[in-house]
Amino acid sequence: MKLIVAVVRPEKLGDVLEALFRAEIRGLTVSGVQGHGGEMEQVETYRGVTVKMELHDKVRLEIGVSETFVQNTVEAILSSARTGEVGDGKVFVLPVEKVYRIRSGEQDEEAVTPQDPSLAQMLAQLEGVR
């Protein structure tokens, strides 16, 4: 299993979610964060006081997936979150020691969605055909 952590532009979140759902990736956590990735500064003015916004609003997604889904997930995020400009964000893939599903007590591969890798392969093929 892997934990995929992605930091993306908030205005791209809709596209990313759409891409993930298309790839049949269902379990995820989203949080609003602020960060700095070297993008061009955004200048704002309030009552004559000019400020550079050094930190930009970003969205962080955390997705626990089984090994077979890692590539699909990463590709879905890469293709949907990119604008080509500095500040598009990053995707981190982290090893996971243990996963428990609270409701059922299932563990590890059983506890991350989706559980059926053959379904995923089938969908990936379908996507390829399309």
Told to check if 121 binds other proteins by CB under 8 A, we report no
Question: Is the Cβ–Cβ distance between 31 and 10 less than 8 Å?
Answer: no
The distance of closest approach from Cβ of residue 16 to other proteins in the complex, given in angstroms and rounded to an integer, is: 11
Amino acid (1-letter code) at residue 59: V
Question: Is the Cβ–Cβ distance between 4 and 73 less than 8 Å?
Answer: yes
Told to check if 54 binds other proteins by CB under 8 A, we report yes
Told to check if 52 binds other proteins by CB under 8 A, we report yes
Told to check if 38 binds other proteins by CB under 8 A, we report no
DSSP 104: T
Told to check if 83 binds other proteins by CB under 8 A, we report yes
> Six-digit token pair at 71?
């590539």
By CB under 8 A, name the binding residues for other proteins. Answer: 9, 11-12, 14, 18, 34, 36, 42-47, 49-56, 83
